Amino acid sequence: IDELLAEGVEGKRVFVRADLNVPLADGTITDDGRIRAVLPTVTKLADAGAKVIVASHLGRPKGAPDPQFSLLPAAERLGELLGKPVAFAQDTVGPAAHDAVDGLEAGQVAVIENLRFNAGETSKDDTERGEFADQLAALADVYVGDGFGAVHRKHASVFDLPARLPHYAGFLIATEVGVLKKLTEDVKRPYVVALGGAKVSDKLAVIDQLLGKADRLLIGGGMAYTFLKAQGHEVGISLLQEDQVPKVKEYIKRAEESGVELVLPVDVLVSTEFPDLKTKAPANPTTVAADAIPADQEGLDIGPETRKLYASKLADAGTVFWNGPMGVFEHPDYAEGTKAIAQALLDSPAFTVVGGGDSAAAVRTLGFDENAFGHISTGGGASLEYLEGKTLPGLAALEN
Ligand code: 3PG
């Protein structure tokens, strides 16, 4: 983008593909981190006199307009953060979008409606995606890719559109890639990775990769129960991906053979029912040993001994990558595990990277100062796939 700014953007229509896929509760944004993350790019372009068109997906609508996934709340928040009005087009490539763009003066900003309201955005068919990309290209003169959270998607606005316009990487993508690259090159050891979140199936490829790179792997969240099961323990009614047990057994064996320290919970907080995240009514969990989860109970957070254990495993780290909450942090009774990891990261002198929409949101909503962490990635799947060593369509398209 520095190159683009040096060339000059005065009066040019610049399409910024952002990732404004923010969490919403009853239409209210609960964490605006991804909107703030794109501000440097939008501000610099606008200050340089560009006509800035900001585009993004939000949620997973089914290729047609769906009001619950409108980008309007994100556009409003962007305007508040920029401190100036932002035009909003109620369609993506139709007359409203063209009117909004035609109405822009140099230095002004417009947001177009959710890209995924168009089937062409996510289509597996190259022609269909290409046609939608052509329509998007008609709105702009230049493309800036800055939606790091979506670079792992081979979608029209991420992959096909940059091929149709002069294209540049925005500040966010440049920063994210710079930091994640460090984790794949010479990391300061011990390199400790804390992985949580619900599904082990989402993390298999990254675990595979990390078994050859990390010194220690701490496992928490819903995925821990598949590990406990693979070790031969009963997990009651906890989240379990039975079909992944053989794979996880193989990883446990590989960790032993390769000298990677694989650390699993020693105790967990359990309850007979999932907590009410709306009312946040007291859940009154009990603490049990991880190898003694009663048949009618569900594990919902790591327990106090595990919190201490994981903190001690993070204390002497040289580098830490953390992805995925340790429990149902959205409920105060199950937030302590996730808080303990966040605190341990802050207490450690290590270079710390927090990746993943959920862990990043957890850090902010649990009241931590995000600036105290080395880097909080805006990418969930994107940062994992980067660490897996995959070619990411959105980055490849910008390099071409
Ligand atoms: C994310 O939240 O990880 C990105 O915005 C990508 O969203 P998606 O998983 O719906 O493609």
CA of 382 to the centre of ligand 1 (A): 8
pLDDT of 120 above 90: yes
Whether residue 214 contacts residue 260, with contact meaning beta carbons closer than 8 Å, is answered with yes
Residue with the smallest CA separation from ligand 1 atom 3 is 380
Counting Cβ atoms within 10 Å, is residue 38 exposed (0-12), middle (13-18) or buried (19+)?
Answer: buried
Catalytic residue among 197, 327, 355, 357: 357
pLDDT of 36 above 90: yes
Whether residue 69 contacts residue 12, with contact meaning beta carbons closer than 8 Å, is answered with no
Distance CA 365, CA 29 (A): 12
Question: Worst-scoring range by mean pLDDT, 8-17, 203-212, 301-310?
Answer: 203-212
385 closest CA partner among 223, 217, 214, 206 = 206
Residue 270 three-state SS: strand
CA of 190 to the centre of ligand 1 (A): 31
List beta partners, residue 302. Answer: 268
199 classed as catalytic:
yes
Residue 203 Cβ contacting ligand 1 at under 6 Å = no
Query: Is 21 labeled as ligand-binding?
Result: yes
pLDDT of 71 above 90: yes
Residue with the smallest CA separation from ligand 1 atom 6 is 150
* Tally: H helices and E strands in the chain: 16, 17
Distance CA 222, CA 230 (A): 14
Indicate which atom in ligand 1 lies nearest the CA of residue 59: 10
Residue 137 Cβ contacting ligand 1 at under 6 Å = no
Question: Worst-scoring range by mean pLDDT, 120-124, 190-194, 369-373, 376-380?
Answer: 369-373
pLDDT of 356 above 80: no
357 classed as catalytic:
yes
Whether residue 122 contacts residue 155, with contact meaning beta carbons closer than 8 Å, is answered with yes
Indicate which atom in ligand 1 lies nearest the CA of residue 149: 4
196 closest CA partner among 223, 163, 226, 175 = 223
List beta partners, residue 194. Answer: 218, 322
Residue 149 Cβ contacting ligand 1 at under 6 Å = yes
Residue 19 Cβ contacting ligand 1 at under 6 Å = yes
* Mean pLDDT value across the chain: 95
Question: Worst-scoring range by mean pLDDT, 18-32, 44-58, 83-97?
Answer: 18-32
> Looking at the chain, how many residues does it have?
400
φ, ψ at 257 (rounded to 5°): -65, -35
36 classed as catalytic:
no
Query: Is 359 labeled as ligand-binding?
Result: yes
Catalytic residue among 145, 236, 303, 381: 381
Over residues 77-82, the mean pLDDT reads 98
Distance CA 18, CA 57 (A): 8
Residue 201 has a pLDDT of: 84
Distance CA 225, CA 233 (A): 9
Distance CA 173, CA 170 (A): 6
